[in-house]
Amino acid sequence: MRYAVAVCLSILLGVPSAHAVETAGDTAIEIKITDEVEIKVKTEDGKEETKRVPAEKVSPGMAVIYTLSAKNTSAAPVADVVMTDPIPDQMEYVDGSVSAENARVTFSVDGGKTFAAQSALRVRGENGAMRPAGPADFTHIRWQLEKPLGPGEVYATSFKARVE
């Protein structure tokens, strides 16, 4: 049996985004989602450094970093953990920005109905011919963890999306 835990929240432009974690069996997964932007700040010694802050206001062209964390709150390992995240409307996935350590990452171009490797996805172009899908075509990202998530263990992943 599979079940999904979904968390809905309004992000940035008032656009709802649903994040989900699916697992096999009767388990407890706690989900945490953050959305941040990088800003440049000057330190006391005058040096410039990059800092991440909550994405409260964003402008067109800005990239938002979405971080998803799944924590196993049960007393047993959880196998077959699948995390799925939609790319918010009005945003475009930043190519190559997804973190994928110990997970198989796939993408969707049809609203999360089907998933495949980025290189395998094709969409119909304006001229009616099929073409390789690009970052602007992606609607969802899915991570399938390669190993069980142990009791108390946290798996975190992230990606960037740019405001159109």
Contact, 35 vs 9, CB < 8 A? Answer: no
Is the torsion defined by CA of 34, 61, 135, 110 positive or negative? Answer: positive
What tokens does 66 get? 């979405």
Q: What is the DSSP string of 19-59?
A: EEEEEESS--EEEEEEEEEEEEEE-TTS-EEEEEEE-SS--
The more confident residue out of 2 and 41 is 41
pLDDT digits (tens, 9 = 90+) for 126-138: 999 999 999 999 9
Q: How confident is the model at residue 25 (pLDDT cuts 50, 70, 90)?
A: low
Is the confidence at residue 8, as pLDDT, over 50? no
Q: What global pTM score does this model have?
A: 0.81
Q: Which CATH architecture has domain 2-163?
A: Sandwich (2.60)
Domain ranges (residues) in the chain: 2-163
DSSP state of 112: T
